[in-house]
């Protein structure tokens, strides 16, 4: 440090070095304000250079990455970064990121889309950094519109329906899956036999079979998710019934759907179909979206334009219409806009809606309804979402990390399986983050307790009101 130049000298060197060039940075506003602040202390004038922010750019065109941190994006594009968080390495990686982002945009998004985004960035009245970047892109695309390669559709979002056709004998017993030498021990390289998991799975299976409720208390590491998912799938397959798994949080719901069920799909011979179901306000309404876009062409507020900048590409790519998959969109910050475009039961025309054939909610509902053929069965699913079985509720609560002092005040009722003729096995995942309350005691042991109930054909975890779509 002794030989290091003084801050004034270093800043002067930097300012001469950048001249009038465009400054590129990841969340560049922070660095610029830092530089300008210290430069002002030495009597300097704030930099007037244009800047391009790779974080802001990625939020517009990459709504499906888990977040927009430099490390995440670098990994996404496979950019090498040795010595992360060191100034030189981060700066080089950011430059590389800008190049990859621009290539990604030009190869996947046509001129029409980018021109619309340009319009939005103007309406958003942000500083002109994003506008100037999109302007350059659009200018380039206009120039090469006829001669350049045509953009190919980019990667789309994950589907919210999962189907497994089965690949072996579906009459697989619980012991054969969870036992020391069972299916899991062959399929999981680091499988550790857990007596608690096997015991829990047996209890769940037995509760399904005997049609009674069960509460299980089990600590971390027991392998609870598989211990209820496997018997639930087996039950649904055997009875040709539908099972509702209601979780306490959306995180757990997504973990079950995107991590646990694909693993089961890869190893279980049992066929099943699963859908990820949330309250309808989580889904964008096709009709209201169209209306909002028409509004946009007539002029919307900067706040609305900012929100659309982070919705537009996601809406192009989404399969499910579920906004929680959009990591660019801040639903709290833009709640007013989201309320304008989300599906709303009071404003929904249902099957009479001209957009029904493209509607995310209708499509998901159709998937769930076709899991069982009769409309009665479909209603039963909703009913179970509303009036839950307490079966296994504690397991989910433990996984959701809730304090032990609350117990869902769910009524115990479930439909009969009689009369079902469907040959489809199905699993729906619903989630409601609001809970009732009661009491419960912590334990790291598996502790089942049985509650008799006349019929339990549908399994619902912590289901409360307003989960159904
Ligand atoms: S059916 Fe309802 S939710 Fe779907 S697009 Fe039409 S109005 Fe929106």
Atom number, ligand 1, closest to the C-alpha of residue 287: 5
Ligand 1 site, residue 447, Cβ cutoff 6 A: no
Q: Contact at 8 Å (CB) between 180 and 193?
A: yes
CB atoms closer than 10 angstroms to residue 61: 21
* For ligand 1, atom 5: residue with the closest CA: 286
Q: Domains in the chain, please, with CATH?
A: 7-143 (3.30.420.10), 161-280+359-451 (no CATH)
Supply the pLDDT for residue 438. 30
Per the structure block, which two tokens stand in for 449? 């307790």
**What is the whole-number distance in angstroms between the Cα of residue 345 and the centre of ligand 1?**
9
Instruction: List the alpha helices (DSSP H) in 240-374.
Output: 250-255, 261-267, 286-298, 302-309, 312-317, 335-341, 360-370
CB neighbour list of residue 278: distance below 8 Å, 6 or more residues apart:
250, 253, 322, 324, 430, 431, 467, 469
Nearest CA among 33, 200, 44, 24 for reference residue 129: 24
Supply the pLDDT for residue 414. 31
* For ligand 1, atom 8: residue with the closest CA: 285
Instruction: Give the chain's length.
Output: 469
Supply the pLDDT for residue 396. 29
Best probe residue, ligand 1, of 348, 354, 366 (max atoms within 8 Å of C-beta): 348
Partnered with residue 244 across adjacent β-strands are: 428
Supply the pLDDT for residue 191. 86
Ligand 1 site, residue 232, Cβ cutoff 6 A: no
Backbone angles phi, psi at 49, to 5 degrees: -65, 150
Supply the pLDDT for residue 170. 66
Over the stretch 6-33, which tens digit does the pLDDT of each residue have?
Answer: 888 999 999 999 999 999 999 988 889 9
Ligand 1 site, residue 343, Cβ cutoff 6 A: yes
Backbone angles phi, psi at 444, to 5 degrees: -100, 0
3-class secondary structure for 188-252? CCCCCCCHHHHHHHHHHHHHHHHCCEEEEECCCCCCHHHHHHHHHHHHHHHHCCEEEEEECCHHH
Backbone angles phi, psi at 416, to 5 degrees: -85, 150
Residue burial 72-89, b: 16+ Cβ < 10 Å; e: rest: ebbebbebebeeeeeeee
**What is the whole-number distance in angstroms between the Cα of residue 346 and the centre of ligand 1?**
10
**Residue spans of the chain under pLDDT 70:** 168, 170, 371-469
DSSP code for 450:
E
Ligand 1 site, residue 356, Cβ cutoff 6 A: yes
Q: How far apart are CA 136 and CA 302, in angstroms?
A: 22
Q: How far apart are CA 67 and CA 49, in angstroms?
A: 28
Q: How far apart are CA 91 and CA 24, in angstroms?
A: 9
**What is the whole-number distance in angstroms between the Cα of residue 351 and the centre of ligand 1?**
8
Q: How far apart are CA 188 and CA 179, in angstroms?
A: 13
Residue written as tokens 């190893």?
Answer: 267
**What is the whole-number distance in angstroms between the Cα of residue 344 and the centre of ligand 1?**
8
* For ligand 1, atom 2: residue with the closest CA: 348
**What is the whole-number distance in angstroms between the Cα of residue 358 and the centre of ligand 1?**
9
Supply the pLDDT for residue 373. 39
CB neighbour list of residue 356: distance below 8 Å, 6 or more residues apart:
349, 350, 362
CB atoms closer than 10 angstroms to residue 112: 10
Residue/partner pairs of 298-305 with CB below 8 Å, 24 or more apart: 299/123, 300/123, 302/123, 302/124, 302/125, 302/126, 303/334, 303/336, 303/337, 304/123, 304/337, 305/120, 305/121, 305/123, 305/124, 305/125
**What is the whole-number distance in angstroms between the Cα of residue 282 and the centre of ligand 1?**
13
Atom number, ligand 1, closest to the C-alpha of residue 286: 5
Per the structure block, which two tokens stand in for 154? 């980019």
Supply the pLDDT for residue 119. 93
Best probe residue, ligand 1, of 355, 358, 364, 469 (max atoms within 8 Å of C-beta): 355
**What is the whole-number distance in angstroms between the Cα of residue 192 and the centre of ligand 1?**
48
Partnered with residue 275 across adjacent β-strands are: 161, 428
């Amino acid at each position: 440090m002794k030989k290091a130049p003084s801050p004034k000298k270093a800043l002067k060197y930097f300012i001469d070095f950048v001249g009038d060039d465009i400054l590129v940075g990841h969340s560049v506003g922070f660095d610029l304000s830092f530089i300008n602040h210290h430069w002002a202390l030495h009597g300097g004038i704030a930099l007037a250079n244009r800047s391009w922010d790779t974080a802001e750019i990625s939020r517009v065109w990459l709504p499906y990455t888990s977040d927009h941190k430099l490390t995440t994006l670098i990994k996404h594009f496979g950019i090498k970064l040795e010595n992360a968080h060191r100034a030189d390495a981060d700066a080089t990686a950011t430059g590389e990121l800008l190049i990859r982002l621009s290539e990604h945009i030009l190869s996947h998004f046509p001129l029409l889309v980018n021109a619309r985004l340009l319009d939005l960035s103007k309406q958003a009245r942000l500083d002109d950094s994003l506008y100037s970047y999109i302007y350059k892109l659009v200018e380039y695309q206009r120039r090469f519109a006829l001669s350049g390669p045509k953009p190919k559709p980019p990667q789309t979002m994950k589907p919210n329906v999962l189907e497994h056709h089965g690949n072996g004998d579906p009459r697989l017993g619980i012991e054969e899956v969870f036992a020391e030498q069972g299916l899991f021990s062959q399929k999981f390289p680091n499988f550790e036999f857990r007596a608690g998991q096997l015991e829990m799975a047996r209890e769940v299976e037995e509760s399904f079979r005997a049609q009674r409720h069960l509460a299980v208390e089990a600590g971390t590491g027991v392998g609870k998710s598989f211990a209820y998912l496997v018997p639930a799938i087996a039950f649904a397959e055997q009875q040709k019934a539908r099972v509702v798994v209601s979780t306490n949080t959306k995180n757990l719901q997504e973990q079950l759907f995107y991590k646990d069920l694909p693993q089961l799909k890869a190893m279980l011979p049992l066929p099943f179909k699963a859908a990820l179901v949330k309250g309808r306000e989580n889904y964008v309404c096709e009709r209201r979206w169209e209306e909002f876009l028409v509004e946009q062409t007539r002029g919307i507020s900067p706040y609305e334009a900012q929100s659309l900048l982070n919705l537009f590409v996601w809406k192009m790519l989404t399969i499910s219409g579920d906004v929680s998959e959009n990591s660019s969109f801040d639903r709290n910050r833009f709640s007013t806009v989201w309320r304008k475009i989300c599906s709303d039961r009071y404003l929904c025309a249902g099957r009479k809606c001209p957009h029904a054939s493209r509607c995310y909610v209708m499509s998901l509902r159709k998937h769930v309804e076709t899991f069982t053929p009769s409309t009665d069965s479909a209603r039963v699913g909703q009913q179970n979402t509303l009036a839950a079985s307490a079966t296994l509720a504690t397991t989910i609560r433990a996984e959701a990390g809730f304090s032990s002092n609350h117990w869902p005040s769910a009524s115990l009722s479930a439909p009969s399986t009689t009369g079902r003729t469907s040959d489809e096995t199905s699993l729906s995942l619903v989630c409601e983050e609001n809970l009732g309350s009661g009491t419960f005691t912590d334990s790291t042991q598996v502790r089942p307790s049985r509650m008799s109930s006349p019929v339990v054909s549908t399994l619902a975890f912590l289901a409360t009101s307003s989960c159904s779509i």
